[in-house]
């Protein structure tokens, strides 16, 4: 599992927070560096016992759990977590048999990735799970998100300026919905790029540019839809 890690970047406090649980110190270190370089806040734990302590102390947006750990294994930990929380879970394991994959999903895990894996696939799996999970704890629950003179209705996927409906393409609507789920928070590119996005794919940037033309007074100097350099984007709302 070769992991290419970008230069370290400052991670904002509002970045999505992941807990990586693996008894292999090398894998923990590599995943911490790789996921951090892609815009996530990352906390690690070497065992289920340590993970339980972290879970009691901190709030996470997604858990990455290794199945094969000494003592309490990842499947048992996933069952315990799922009994009290809906936090998304991605299981990692060296096992490849169908029964083992099914066992992982039966614990309530959202996805299952076998080792060795391509780090890019891990990133896309995490992004996909986070999109499907929708708003995280602490995200606004109101049906509308307001920013400047605009209001975006989450349920209808409708953008209005006053009483006027602003026409959106499907990609623009998806992008705005992803940002509106976490108003004011930084959403990593990987969480909105799509599972089928190829490395270096700039499609998200194109959609951002088009959407800015519709909501910004000066698209070249955006105020509402902000780029968080090296991390992703955020929607500056009135909330």
- CATH 1.10.10.10 residue ranges in the chain? 144-235
- Of the candidates 94, 105, 183, the residue with the CA atom closest to the CA atom of residue 147: 183
Residue range(s) of every CATH 3.40.50.2300 domain in the chain: 17-133
Give the ranges where the chain is alpha helix by DSSP (H): 25-37, 48-57, 74-82, 98-106, 119-133, 170-180, 190-193, 203-215
| Alpha carbons 213 and 209: distance in angstroms, whole number | 7
Q: What is the CATH number of domain 144-235?
A: 1.10.10.10
What fold is seen in the domain 17-133? Rossmann fold (3.40.50)
Would you state the pLDDT for residue 221?
93
pTM: predicted TM-score of the whole model, two decimal places: 0.58
- The single residue listed with the structure tokens 């959202």 is 110
Give mean pLDDT in consecutive 10-residue pieces for the chain, a chain of 239 residues.
48 77 93 90 94 91 91 89 88 69 72 84 86 56 82 88 91 89 82 59 84 94 89 84
């Amino acid at each position: 599992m070769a992991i290419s890690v970008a230069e370290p970047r400052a991670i904002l406090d509002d970045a999505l927070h992941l807990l990586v649980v693996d008894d292999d110190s090398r894998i923990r270190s590599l995943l911490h560096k790789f996921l951090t370089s892609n815009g996530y806040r990352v906390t690690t734990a070497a065992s289920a016992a340590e993970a339980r302590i972290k879970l009691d102390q901190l709030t996470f947006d997604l858990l990455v759990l290794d199945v094969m750990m000494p003592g309490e294994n990842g499947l048992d930990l996933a069952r315990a977590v799922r009994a009290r929380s809906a936090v998304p879970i991605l299981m990692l394991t060296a096992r490849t048999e169908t029964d083992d994959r099914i066992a992982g999903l039966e614990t309530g895990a959202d996805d299952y990735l076998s080792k060795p894996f391509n780090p890019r696939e891990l990133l896309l799996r995490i992004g996909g799970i986070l999109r499907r999970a929708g708003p995280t704890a602490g995200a606004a629950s109101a049906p509308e998100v307001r920013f400047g003179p605009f209001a975006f209705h989450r349920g209808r996927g409708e953008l209005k300026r006053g009483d006027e409906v602003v026409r959106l393409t499907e990609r623009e609507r998806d992008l705005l919905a992803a940002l509106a789920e976490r108003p004011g928070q930084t959403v990593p590119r990987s969480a909105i790029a799509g599972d089928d996005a190829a490395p270096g794919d700039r499609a998200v940037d194109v959609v951002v540019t088009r959407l800015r033309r519709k909501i910004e007074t000066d698209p070249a100097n955006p105020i509402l839809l902000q780029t968080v350099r090296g991390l992703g984007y955020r929607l500056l709302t009135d909330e």
